[in-house]
């Protein structure tokens, strides 16, 4: 099984470094990126295309779907990590957002600590585990495309590599030492002999 984890095209909130709302759409640049990405993926025979339900991922997957001629299945479990409502639409550099994120960082090792309504490490970890279990159960020997988000891609990878030994500390360092670009392609291969192998990280040579 090969799993292609694709980050959505540039959204209107990306250039400003915003914490984005679910309905934040692609920018004009993001739409062009998605079309270029779709052209690159056209030569791959996908058994299924999964899309996050968030607008920026849905738009990206719809553009890809038209090119590769494969319908989209919306998958709630691959949507982006949920941030606290207090930071939505704020820039990551704003004093309020920085204060909140610093407090979250300080307590993240506890696993179930939350500032308000954000997704905790324990919740995200379980979601990543659920995604991988679904892939292994339903898609062995297939090519799977998941149009998703930077944070979720990192959690899926972390679960593939560390499995049940993944801790909040490991994930925090993993997340903040991997940087991804819009429409980056990450490819993971699964076999009985080696289990999960990361073949490609955030390939954007199509841009």
**Per-residue pLDDT reduced to its tens digit, 54-99:** 999 999 999 999 999 999 999 999 999 999 999 999 999 999 999 9
Percent of the chain at pLDDT above 70? 100
Specify burial of residue 69 (Cβ count, 10 A radius: 0-12, 13-18, 19+). Answer: exposed
Mean pLDDT of the chain: 97
Are 174 and 150 a contacting pair, CB within 8 Å? Answer: no
Specify burial of residue 134 (Cβ count, 10 A radius: 0-12, 13-18, 19+). Answer: middle
**Per-residue pLDDT reduced to its tens digit, 144-179:** 999 999 999 999 999 999 999 999 999 999 999 999
Percent of the chain at pLDDT above 90? 100
Amino acid 158: pLDDT: 98
Could you give the C-alpha distances from 57 to 53, 100, 130, 165, in angstroms and in order? Answer: 7, 26, 20, 30
**Per-residue pLDDT reduced to its tens digit, 18-36:** 999 999 999 999 999 999 9
Are 12 and 191 a contacting pair, CB within 8 Å? Answer: no
pTM across the whole model: 0.96
Confidence of residue 49 (pLDDT cuts 50, 70, 90): very high
Could you give all domains of the chain from N- to C-terminal order, each with its CATH number? Answer: 2-203 (3.40.50.1240)
């Amino acid at each position: 099984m090969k799993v292609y984890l694709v980050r959505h095209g540039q959204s209107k909130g990306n250039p400003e470094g915003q914490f984005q709302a679910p309905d934040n759409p692609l920018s004009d640049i993001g739409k062009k990126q998605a079309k270029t990405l779709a052209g690159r993926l056209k030569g791959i025979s996908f058994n299924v295309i999964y899309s996050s339900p968030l607008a920026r991922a849905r738009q990206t997957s719809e553009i890809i779907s038209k090119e590769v001629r494969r319908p989209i299945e919306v998958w709630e479990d691959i949507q982006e990590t949920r941030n606290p409502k207090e930071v939505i639409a704020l820039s990551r550099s704003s004093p309020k957002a920085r204060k909140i994120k610093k407090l979250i960082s300080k307590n993240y090792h506890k696993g179930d600590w939350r500032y308000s309504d954000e997704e905790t490490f324990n919740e995200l970890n379980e979601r990543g585990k659920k995604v991988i279990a679904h892939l292994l159960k339903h898609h062995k020997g297939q090519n799977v495309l998941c149009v998703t988000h930077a944070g979720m891609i990192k959690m899926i990878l972390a679960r593939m590599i560390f499995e049940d030994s993944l801790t909040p500390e490991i994930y925090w360092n993993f997340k903040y030492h991997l940087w991804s670009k819009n429409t980056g392609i990450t490819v993971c291969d699964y076999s009985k002999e080696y289990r999960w192998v990361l073949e490609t990280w955030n390939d954007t040579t199509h841009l």
